[in-house]
Structures are given as structure tokens and as C-alpha cells.
Copies of this chain bind each other. A is one copy, B any other.
């Protein structure tokens, strides 16, 4: 097998884990599960020791310093510094346009948790094999519950090591999500993709020539700077912001998927964070100076003062600097709407 080129997307700044995540301290760079950050864990999964080519990180200028501070273990990494945020189609194309046409790219978000790295790498190899045959491959993540917050992938005809994609399905309502689960042929779309750089650019040119041309121009007029690459700002700014799903994956006739069950979580809420952490016998997850009495399935984390909690189940109590959040797990979806999260 030829080597896989990891492309790690490190953009955006969600507010759903506020106050742990802040504007100047976004989610990928926080040690939410274990001792290293989600970004560092992503690097580790795609490390050279594990048979991968040096990584390409695509990020914005705002996060460049954070990226560099956490890239110490990957000195041969390349950082593509986006002059503006233009969503995932353009971000991936920036990396694709700079790689050889036959290079197999493995596109990974930087803020997901994957408990089973071996399963991840096995799926990466299967996806790379299909990518070399000209497929654009999505990881199809084994769904664990009828989640309404994710898109789904319906598997079609079998391929070696995977399936053709029958269709991509937008976030369903609960009834449909339940039907997907009992059907068995549906996976979660976790935003992890494999394709050769050439195939990707070809398909992007076919379906969104504007984005493809804009990115090629931004790269041609771009400026290398040590291990960084700065695409041309004016060319890049004029590109339409579009997700890779809309721009390419849902349009191409060459979409495939590899099924994978790897303890995946997007850590998209405090409920997800709780579920990704190991609990005690009562399902409680704590960090810092915490005392619990009669609690079950709570997530209680303090970076300073003691938190004492009595009699609660399925709540999150997060103390971070000058902010304190107390929420039900259901209410955790609304964290991003709090004044604290939006005013920062």
C-alpha cells in the first residue's frame, strides 16, 4: 500500500462546550478526554509511527499559534493558514491542490474523540484502498442511538472493504432516525473522508468549478513560509463557502463508504463529553475538586474551587475560570445560546 496523507481540519470555534471552550481556546485544543487535546490525539492517530505521511493541518490565522504549540510531536507537518474561513470544500481543496494527484488524502476533523485507534487505522487502510480505485470514501460510523444531530449515509452495493453510497441523508427527525437504526443499513456521517488528491479536484471541478478554480489560484499565488503555507488572500476570499458534503460528496457518482465501529464521538455537547469519559459505579464523571452525594450520571468538572453536588442525576456542572455552568444533559444543547457563550 502507498502511504496515506492525513489532512487535519482545524477550523471553526463552536460554542457548545462553553465555558470550557472559549473563543481564544477552541475545542480542538482542549484536553477534554484524557491528557492530550483532541487535536493532539488526532495527530497521534495519524502519526508517522503508525505508517502515515507527514500531516497537513488546515487552519485559520486565529488558531495558528495554538496549532503550532501542539504540533511539537510532528515537526515535519505542514500548516496551511487560511486567510478566511470558507468551509470544508475549500479547506480540503487547499490541501489537495498541493499534493501529488495520486496521493491518498485522509481528511480528519480535529475535534472528535475516537476511543479505538486500531479500528480507525483499519478503516483508514480500507478507505485508502478504495480511494486508489477512484472512489471518494466516507467513514460510515456505526450508529449507537437514533441521533437527530448527525447526517446519515445509506450503504448501497458492496465493494471490496466497503460499499457504494446509496445516498446521504440530512439530519433526520427522531422517527426517521429510529427507522434508520432498525433498518441497519445506515451509518453516521462523521466527516472523515479518503480520496486521492486528483480524484477530489476532478470531482470538485465537475460540480463546483468556481471553488476549484479559486483554490488553484490561491495556491498558485500562495506563499510558503517555513512549514507554513499562506494561500493568496484575495483569491481565497472570493471563494464561496460550502461544505464538502454539499459541494462534492452528495453530488459525485463515485461516493463509497467504509463501515467502522471505533468509539467515535464528536464531543458535540456536555452529554457527549460525559459519555466519552469513564464513569464510576454510579456513572458519575468528575474532574478537579468535587464532592458528590446521591448523584448519578453527572459530569462535574472544576478547574479551581470545590464543587459539592447533592441529589442530582444527568446534569453537568462546569466551573471554568470566571464562569459556572449548570445544565441538564438535555439542556446542554442550548449552551451555545447563553449570553456567556455568545458575548465572548
Tell me the A residues contacting B by CB distance below 8 Å.
19, 291, 293-294, 302, 304-312, 315, 317, 319, 321-328, 330-332, 334-335, 337-340
Contacts and interface: CB of A to CB of B under 8 A. Distances in A.
Contact of A324 (B307, B312, B338): B307
A340 B291 contact: yes
16 contacts: A291-B338, A291-B340, A302-B324, A305-B321, A305-B323, A306-B323, A306-B324, A306-B340, A307-B326, A309-B325, A310-B325, A310-B327, A311-B334, A312-B315, A312-B327, A317-B326
A291 B339 contact: yes
Contact of A309 (B304, B327, B330): B327
Copies of this chain, tallied across the complex: 2
Nearest to A319: B324
Contacts of A340: 291, 306, 308
B309 A326 contact: yes
A205 B308 CA distance: 47
A280 to B, nearest CB: 17
Contacts of A306: 322-324, 340
Contacts of A325: 307-310
A83 B167 CA distance: 83
Contacts of A328: 310-312
Nearest to A293: B334
